[in-house]
Amino acid sequence: MINKQFKTKSQMTTHFKHIKAIFTLMLAGFTGICIAQTVSPKTEFKKSTDLPASTSLSPVAIPHLDAQLATDGYRQLSFKKGDEFQKTTLVNSTTVLQRGAQKFDIKSNSSVTKNYNVTDATNSNFAISVTTKRITDTLFAMGKSMQYNSDNPTDTSSFIQKRLTAMVGQTANVSLSKQDAITQISGNGNQVINDTLFAFTGLQPEQLVKGASLGLTVNSTAMASMKKNYTWADTVTDGNSKIKNTFWIQAKDDKTTTIAFESAQQQSYSNSNTNGVYVVDNATGVILVRQMQSITSGYQVLNNVVYAASRRTAVTESCYKTK
């Protein structure tokens, strides 16, 4: 992507250290989105010996509503054979890595469209095919840019574009219980690509996991009785990470329920704040819209050098029934 001449070996070494620094930061991943939020985290430089070599900005955990409402029971999914849903996820992210006068800015805009087809339905489960239909991605870094559209790929020599093109048309076949739990997965559409260059695009990997929800619905029986302003919260501690989630019913009518949330994650060397909304169809439990914004600030350590790092990510996800 970059064609540059160097007069000395020292200049060349410094340049490639800069490239490596950006790639390492981008491997941390991206999350979050579209409702304005202001955060003023306090960031202090520490000696590199005080920080582990693996220190980085970790992805923000986006709370799943089903997990919070499980104690009230699940309603049965009502999919029918032939049902088809289309979900499009838009992600805008900005990452800044800085140490003194050294500063790297990386911006990316991407979209991924997937189709969920119910190929069979029985009394106990569903067979659903999940196919990646379209990917677009625009990346700006170090004065350079890359644009990709799977409808019209242009540069077949680009490693990044080859990997993105390989994802389009891939299908994962899922067996799903009536309680929205994945019981079996087959096919090649569930591969998560962890290449540095792929992470550099800013796309969020979405992997189907056995035992987890398919991610299309909220199926709690409790949601039907919740009134506007009803609020609940939970706190999760995992090692050095602590996450506090707060949910409330923001709006409700005969057709949809809007659930807002705030999530704060504290780790040893980074802090994240996320907020957003879910718009849920009352009749089917399908998540029609999901919007989130995340701001993360902390440290990135590269070659025993400490960088201040920050990331802002906005995600808008829409889902609707096509058949």
Question: What does the alpha-carbon distance between residue 187 and residue 229 come to, in Å, rounded to a whole number?
Answer: 43
Q: What is the pTM of this model?
A: 0.75
Question: What does the alpha-carbon distance between residue 234 and residue 245 come to, in Å, rounded to a whole number?
Answer: 5
The residue that leads in pLDDT, 74 or 203, is 203
CB atoms within 10 A of CB 180: 22
Predicted confidence band of residue 201 (pLDDT cuts 50, 70, 90): low
Q: What are the residue ranges spanned by the domains of the chain?
A: 9-321
Phi first, then psi: what are they for 171, rounded to 5°?
Answer: -130, 135
Considering only CA atoms, which of 234, 228, 184 is closest in space to residue 70?
A: 234
Lowest model confidence (mean pLDDT) among 40-49, 155-164, 304-313: 40-49
Best-predicted range by mean pLDDT among 72-81, 166-175, 228-237? 166-175
Question: What does the alpha-carbon distance between residue 192 and residue 250 come to, in Å, rounded to a whole number?
Answer: 34
What are the distances in angstroms from CA 149 to CA 145, 154, 203, 204, 233?
A: 14, 8, 13, 16, 40
pLDDT number for residue 319: 95
Helix or strand holding residue 308 (H, E): strand 305-321
Mapped onto helix, strand or coil, the DSSP state of residue 225 is helix
pLDDT number for residue 51: 43
Residue 62 DSSP one-character state: P
pLDDT digits (tens, 9 = 90+) for 95-147: 888 888 888 888 989 999 999 999 999 988 999 999 999 999 998 887 888 88
Share of the chain above pLDDT 70, in %: 70
pLDDT digits (tens, 9 = 90+) for 225-261: 888 999 888 887 877 778 888 889 999 999 999 999 9
Predicted confidence band of residue 88 (pLDDT cuts 50, 70, 90): very high
pLDDT number for residue 272: 87
Question: What does the alpha-carbon distance between residue 322 and residue 84 come to, in Å, rounded to a whole number?
Answer: 6
Question: What does the alpha-carbon distance between residue 111 and residue 109 come to, in Å, rounded to a whole number?
Answer: 7
The residue behind tokens 């701001």 is: 295
Contact between 177 and 124 (Cβ < 8 Å): yes
pLDDT digits (tens, 9 = 90+) for 268-322: 778 889 999 999 998 888 999 999 999 988 887 766 778 788 888 899 999 999 9
CATH entry, 9-321, from 2.60.40, 1.20.120, 2.30.230, 3.40.630:
2.30.230
The residue that leads in pLDDT, 89 or 52, is 89
Mapped onto helix, strand or coil, the DSSP state of residue 196 is helix
CA atoms within 13 A on the CB side of 90: 10
pLDDT at 47 over 70: no
Instruction: Measure the CA dihedral 217/222/228/234, to 10°.
Output: -80
